[in-house]
Structure 1
Amino acid sequence: MIQQQLPITNISHLIPQKTPFVMVDTLLDFSPSHVVSTFKILKTNLFLKNNTLLESGLIENMAQTVALHTGYDFFLKDEVAPTGYIGSIKKVDILKLPALNDIITTKVDILHEFNGVTLVAVKVYNANEEEIASGEMKTVIANQ
């Protein structure tokens, strides 16, 4: 099994998204049932409007954190990570939108995984550890 010291700031090999669509930049914590990422909102972000990250950017950050979990899990096994998709979003509550240069922390708990479908609960926090968004979604691994 491959080991890599956390945090990992070069995560480009762990997720399928490429610049300018990357919405995570650091892997902080990982276990088989949990993952934590951070993301600094830069001026070049596609989901930035009036110096505020749009709701769609927060949802994409949530989904990419799930992809980061899958990617790192496969990396540890020295296997190529499959491509995944958002299968469904059960609910999302957005309490506050982050601003330019904010660093958000996204925590994902894997609730259930079966046959390539993963149900997760996600919470997003600002730098003050205030919850700014939460949701549940299903992700689906594409057939290889």
Structure 2
Amino acid sequence: MNLPITDISHLIPQKTPFVMVDTLLDFSADKIVSSFKILDTNLFVQDNYFLESGIIENLAQTVALHTGYDYFLKGEEAPTGYIGSIKKVEVHQLPKLNETITTQASILHEFMGITMVQVKAFNQNKEEIATAEMKTVIAT
């Protein structure tokens, strides 16, 4: 498949209305970049801003998209994964309604189904709006 990919519904376990990523922009074994346009129908929009909980979910779903696309490329069904922990979460700015945010995840360590990831989200001006470290776990 050529990037960007805008139909990612088969690559992540989340379904509408809980989808917080909509485009796969870039992918490698140790990195992924996604984007997400914030619409007024989103559950996490309040007073024309995308709330912290939505940003954190966007960060996590970007990590899930990495796993889903990696398995898709291998011709395998993606396993179920869980967030093991989230730490060092910082939300510097809430994006506004109709903005498109870009999120990138870098794989720091991966061992026996446990992955440590650094995730960063950026607004349309390429300013960092949120960061976090996440540990994800593949269910066996």
Q: TM-score, normalised by structure 2?
A: 0.99
Match of 2:104 in 1: 107
Match of 1:90 in 2: 87
What is the aligned-residue identity percentage?
71
Match of 1:8 in 2: 5
Report how many aligned residue pairs link the two structures: 140
Question: What's the CA shift for 1:142?
Answer: 1.3
Question: What's the CA shift for 1:109?
Answer: 0.2
Structure 1 letter corresponding to 2:114 = V
Return 5+ residue gaps in structure 1 as ranges: none
DSSP 3-state at the match of 1:60? helix
Q: 1:131 aligns with which of 121, 128, 137?
A: 128
Return 5+ residue gaps in structure 2 as ranges: none
Match of 1:36 in 2: 33
DSSP 3-state at the match of 2:69? helix
Question: What's the CA shift for 1:51?
Answer: 1.1
Alignment of 1:58-73 (within 5 A): 58-73=55-70
Confirm whether residue 25 of structure 1 aligns to residue 22 of structure 2: yes
Alpha-carbon distance in structure 2 between the residues aligned to 1:47 and 1:84: 22
Confirm whether residue 141 of structure 1 aligns to residue 138 of structure 2: yes
Match of 2:78 in 1: 81
